[in-house]
Structure 1
Amino acid sequence: MRPLHALLLLALWVLPGRSAHAQTPRGPRAQRHARVDALFAPWSGKATPGCAVAVSRDGVLDYARGHGRANLEDDVPITPRSVFNMASVTKQFIAFSLGLLVQEGKVSMDDDVRKHIPELPDFGTRRTVAHLMHHISGLREQGQLMALAGWRGDDMTLDADNWWVLTRQRGVNFEPGAEVLYTNAAYGLLGVIVRRVSGQSLRDFADERLFNPLGMKDTRFQEGAFAVIPRRAIGYAPDKSKGDWRVSMPQSDGSGSLFSTVGDLLKWQQNQLDGRVGGPAVRALMQTSGTLNDGTVTGYGGGLRLTEHRGLRTVGHDGMMGGFRTESVLFPDQRLSIVLLCNSGSIPSSELVWKVADVYLGDLMKAALPPAVALPEADLAALAGNYWSPLTDEVVRLEVKGGALREVGGAKDFVHMGEGAFRPGESPHVWRFAPPRPGAPRELSIRDAWPTTRPFIRIDAPPPTRGELMAFVGQYRSEEVEMTYSVRIVDEKLAVSWPRRGDVFLEPVGGDRFVGSVGAVSFTRTAAGGVDGLLVSSRRLRRFRAERTGLETRLSRP
């Protein structure tokens, strides 16, 4: 960046009421910038997508640069004014909008969701606005439901589509308040409540009450999926077959269509410190964690993760949608804001944002994660296999590859931390193996970003014979997504297919249980032993059922 350009950006982006001569954090500015630049060097060329990055302290801009290309076809560089899809960073804006309505007495956090959305099915237990906001409602994940309804990853998905699938559901993942499990469905419904109670569209409400008062001129909800957005960054994904890039731009509207820039998000984060809009009451609502029925603190507030990084308190959120990866992190005690917006899903944005934080606040932080504890490869091999969770019906598969334990198909080596505990790469998630017990299956517990621990047991079973596979062949119907699934034997493997999805091959786990890219698939039987249905389960979807309707005898492709 040219020096004059940098000075102009600084002059434009210093937030109201803050001096450009205020103390900046940690060391010479040029040295900090060089270290941040080095982090993004792999994505700074003309033939790669990249990121816009901005850092401020107490409202004073310290760093704002673009790395890589916003548009590869036209060789348009990313700049601090490039506009990105916010993905799940959007959730804090929906929560804030709702908080304003709560402050005005128009909504209560204890309201039954069906008071505002009577079209939502009655699942037998009262679910509140707070349950939605804190991801403890137990509602199923809409994205995985849409996939089972035939949507593809880059398809256009409108609020009306999500509404269609959510209002058809008959089952849930768990009772409200029993667990915490992230779900986009909850915030889609909160967006509906904001619209209905305010009598305005999300765009009009947010423009009037949030963006205009804060001077966020490049931020808005798009009401149409194909709106023209000046300076928009295009999302990309690697095209592995060609060693190049392909466009990855899922289209949406309403609650999934917020666009913004790094500069505007710094203004937004400053408001989280100062409360100029919303005041202390809304800020407290946003930054107060939800709790489970047993009193466990979830670490999630109003569209914000309330965590820590190397001993320092953090408030923020990440997002992923198609080719976009977004990160907003605030260190409230140090009044440091970091925003990272990227236009490729292959960029490790979550790792990068914490490395930027280390550049600015490393001297104040605790030591990084402890080093690995060596474990013989034979001991690792003893942990490999298929593990099933009786709580969630998920299946995880572990293998030893390159001398390290990892998930089958995963990219991260597991790091042994001692006493049977592992972490995937630099992740804070903990996979803990219980000591083996004679005659009992191996046990595993997984704790990720949420305080709910998922138990798993290893299933050791021989693969099914062709005759046993034949029992599963047939047609299965779900009225919850109005879809029929065909289960066949293809090239001596069980496969499930449905319109627009093609064959999903199912690997045997044991008995009536299989696993594939769709998740875990378990077949159910009648009292007489006949197969009468199947259940699909994944991280955010439990026991989605399809009833068997007929028998398909075709054994291979036509």
Structure 2
Amino acid sequence: MRILKLACILILLLTLKTYGQHQSVITQDMERTIDSLFNPWKSSGSPGVSFAIIKDGKVISKKNYGFFDIENKKPITSQTRFNLGQSSAHYTAYALLKLEVEGKLSLGDDIRKHIKELQDINQVITVKNLLYGTSGIYDYQVLKSICGWNFTENFSQKDALRLVALQKELAFKPGTDYSEADVNFVLLAELIENVSGKSFKNYMEEDIFKPIGMTNTFIKADLNTMYQNVAHSYRSEDDRTILNNSGNTILGINNMYSSIDDLILWEQHLNNATGNDQKIIQKMDVIIKLNSGRTNSTSSGELTVGQLYGHKERGLFSTYILGSSSGHDSSIFKFPTQNYTAIALSNNGDGYNGYLGVISAHNILAKHFTEPETTNFDSINTKTLSKKQLQQFEGHYWDQLGELSREIKVINDTLRYVRTNGNVNPLIPLSNNKFQMKVQFDDKIYIEFPEDETEVMEFQYLGAEPIRFEKYTPEKYNKEELSDQFNGIYSNKEYAITYKAIADNNKLKLSNVKNGDINFTPITSILFSGDSWFLRSIEFTKDKNQNINGFYVKNNAIRNLWFEKVVLNE
């Protein structure tokens, strides 16, 4: 399925210039070209997609393919409901700002004023910190997995609150940094409930959706409540389509269900809002900044208060939001200046359907783009560097928050960027220390080695704030060396989590009753990379006698979770 989609994209990128160079509305030729994007969903008996394009406030294309219920052969329609996943945050942000505009709360309020379960947190965290993603609260998604929750178990809003209430130390001082932690919007849902005097479900449905006419949109707060016309979720496994039965009752960042027709109403509401609604939307469009004034500039773009990322697509400013939950995927892509919005909802579990809106825009908005679909690397002004000059950059580099290891290596007289999965990209020298990565399409990725920091590599993607990688020398241990230093029992007191570390050949194995075995490979003498998504790295520390006394979990979501060594080597 995924291969077929990529093939469609490649073909379209070569043919889109044929149509729409001077069109402001969709033509039959454009419609046919866009329609070919959906070939993978047209096969008999497959999950499907619901899609719409809004231009200048009018729906110019709307498509539905595939089944929302394969077992009973029920086709997807414009009224079929899908879980929006993380895209739910956009609507939660709107609801919070509505309460603020109405004077029922202030963004400067201490969250402990509104959420009683958080009274024991010993730092001031404001409502604004939650909305901006600058609270420093650990991401519950990672934390619950470390604690042994598995994806087949229901994880509720109250469970998330209990985990947050146990946190004794924040990842950073609120307002000084940013972390993409879903927990912020889980807490905002709780706060909205407490301030509004209604359940989050009732407030969203009665005060947000119903006035707009979105009667087909709901919040699923109970797994046992059944709804009509809801898309089943599926996933691909061994070339088979399998029903995905997992779920949760997390709110604020998940479990908002809607249809393409209702989301069209929402977008039209945003475009035609007046009075307080207009004030809310103006606040939603503000770019998030830290206390220092620094924007949250990531590889996804700059985040707005409305939780859409803004970036340039082929030189044209666009905003977007993506969501994924248990086989359901959602995307909303906009080109605001051109009044273009594309919405895609699907249930095949592929994880990304946003290209449908972007590639359609390449067709409909063809005359507006200022940059080509692919970069002509032959036209770039390059700097000639000797092999010796290139070799000074060779080595292994580590990104602590992203938990990524990369290698820079000279191969056939060309400096190359090597990923752990084996993918290799040439680096084109632009100066003595700055390179552009050679990639497909129009992505602009730059690698720079700062002149004043010889052990650092900076990775910059799409104009985002550079990601720092620090150079390291790979460490190798044998079984005896690992056993002598690292074997033992490690415990975190706040969450009562215990892991047992045992040397296994040249790797370290961490075991937990609920999570089983996680294998760790040494990166440096004290830093290890794991094969689990929620424990991708741990960093050990030593006491004054140079004995291992514990380890930290350090990443973008959880930066200082401490496990103390409580039982010596076995």
Match of 1:61, SS state, is: strand
Contact 1:271 1:277 in 2 (8 A): no
Match of 1:394 among 403, 408, 411: 403
Residue 191 (structure 2) aligns with:
193
- What is the Cα deviation at residue 492 of structure 1? 4.5
Q: How is 1:220-235 mapped onto 2 (pairs within 5 angstroms)?
A: 220-235=218-233
Cα gap change, 1:283 to 1:477, in 2 (>3 Å): same
CA-to-partner distance for each residue in 1:64-90, whole Å, 9 max, x for gaps? Answer: 112333334334333332211111110
The residue identity in structure 1 corresponding to 2:85 is A
Match of 2:518 among 494, 504, 507: 504
- What is the Cα deviation at residue 423 of structure 1? 7.8
Distance across 2 between alignment mates of 1:165 and 1:78 = 38
Distance across 1 between alignment mates of 2:312 and 2:120 = 37
The residue identity in structure 2 corresponding to 1:164 is R
Distance across 2 between alignment mates of 1:396 and 1:371 = 29
Identity rate, percent: 23
Contact 2:377 2:438 in 1 (8 A): no
Distance across 2 between alignment mates of 1:263 and 1:141 = 33
- What is the Cα deviation at residue 257 of structure 1? 1.4
The residue identity in structure 1 corresponding to 2:357 is V
Q: Does 1:527 align with 2:544?
A: yes
Q: Does 1:445 align with 2:441?
A: no
Distance across 2 between alignment mates of 1:414 and 1:236 = 34
Distance across 2 between alignment mates of 1:78 and 1:401 = 51
The residue identity in structure 2 corresponding to 1:180 is Y
- What is the Cα deviation at residue 43 of structure 1? 3.3
TM-score normalized by structure 2?
Answer: 0.83
Q: Does 1:467 align with 2:480?
A: yes
Which stretch shifts more, 187-196 or 35-44? 35-44
- What is the Cα deviation at residue 25 of structure 1? 5.8
Match of 1:432 among 439, 447, 451: 447
Distance across 1 between alignment mates of 2:445 and 2:556 = 16
Which stretch shifts more, 367-376 or 309-318? 367-376
Q: Which ranges in structure 2 are unaligned for 5 or more consecutive residues?
A: 1-21, 297-301
Q: Which ranges in structure 1 are unaligned for 5 or more consecutive residues?
A: 1-23, 554-558
Cα gap change, 1:276 to 1:68, in 2 (>3 Å): farther
Distance across 2 between alignment mates of 1:235 and 1:380 = 49
CA-to-partner distance for each residue in 1:85-117, whole Å, 9 max, x for gaps? Answer: 111110011111111110111111111222222
Match of 1:349, SS state, is: coil
Residue 556 (structure 1) aligns with:
none
Contact 1:513 1:522 in 2 (8 A): yes
- What is the Cα deviation at residue 335 of structure 1? 2.0
Residue 562 (structure 2) aligns with:
545
TM-score normalized by structure 1?
Answer: 0.84
Q: Does 1:330 align with 2:334?
A: yes
Cα gap change, 1:317 to 1:164, in 2 (>3 Å): same
The residue identity in structure 1 corresponding to 2:494 is E
Residue 5 (structure 2) aligns with:
none
Residue 215 (structure 1) aligns with:
213
The residue identity in structure 1 corresponding to 2:34 is V
- What is the Cα deviation at residue 510 of structure 1? 1.2
Contact 2:396 2:408 in 1 (8 A): no
Match of 1:127, SS state, is: coil
Residue 40 (structure 2) aligns with:
42
Contact 1:50 1:347 in 2 (8 A): no
Match of 1:156, SS state, is: coil
Residue 12 (structure 1) aligns with:
none
Q: Does 1:243 align with 2:247?
A: no
Q: Does 1:90 align with 2:105?
A: no
Which stretch shifts more, 186-195 or 37-46? 37-46
Contact 2:117 2:161 in 1 (8 A): no
| Matched length | 523
Contact 1:70 1:234 in 2 (8 A): yes
Distance across 1 between alignment mates of 2:54 and 2:362 = 14
Residue 9 (structure 2) aligns with:
none
Distance across 2 between alignment mates of 1:141 and 1:84 = 25
**Aligned-pair Cα RMSD in Å:** 3.3
Match of 1:174, SS state, is: coil
Residue 375 (structure 2) aligns with:
370
- What is the Cα deviation at residue 125 of structure 1? 4.3
Distance across 2 between alignment mates of 1:319 and 1:123 = 30
Cα gap change, 1:486 to 1:273, in 2 (>3 Å): same
Match of 2:529 among 500, 505, 515: 515
Q: Does 1:407 align with 2:419?
A: yes
Residue 468 (structure 2) aligns with:
455
Which stretch shifts more, 275-284 or 133-142? 275-284
Q: How is 1:119-268 mapped onto 2 (pairs within 5 angstroms)?
A: 119-120=117-118, 125-239=123-237, 242-253=238-249, 254-255=251-252, 256-268=254-266
Q: How is 1:93-108 mapped onto 2 (pairs within 5 angstroms)?
A: 93-108=91-106
Distance across 2 between alignment mates of 1:226 and 1:335 = 40
Cα gap change, 1:544 to 1:97, in 2 (>3 Å): same
Q: Does 1:339 align with 2:352?
A: no
Match of 1:313 among 311, 317, 322: 317
Distance across 1 between alignment mates of 2:34 and 2:447 = 35
Cα gap change, 1:166 to 1:413, in 2 (>3 Å): farther
Contact 1:103 1:281 in 2 (8 A): yes
CA-to-partner distance for each residue in 1:354-377, whole Å, 9 max, x for gaps? Answer: 21222221221121452457999x
Match of 1:333, SS state, is: helix
CA-to-partner distance for each residue in 1:337-384, whole Å, 9 max, x for gaps? Answer: 2101122342542333321222221221121452457999x9999977
Distance across 2 between alignment mates of 1:342 and 1:393 = 29
- What is the Cα deviation at residue 399 of structure 1? 8.1
Contact 2:478 2:506 in 1 (8 A): no
Cα gap change, 1:238 to 1:296, in 2 (>3 Å): same
Q: Does 1:490 align with 2:500?
A: no
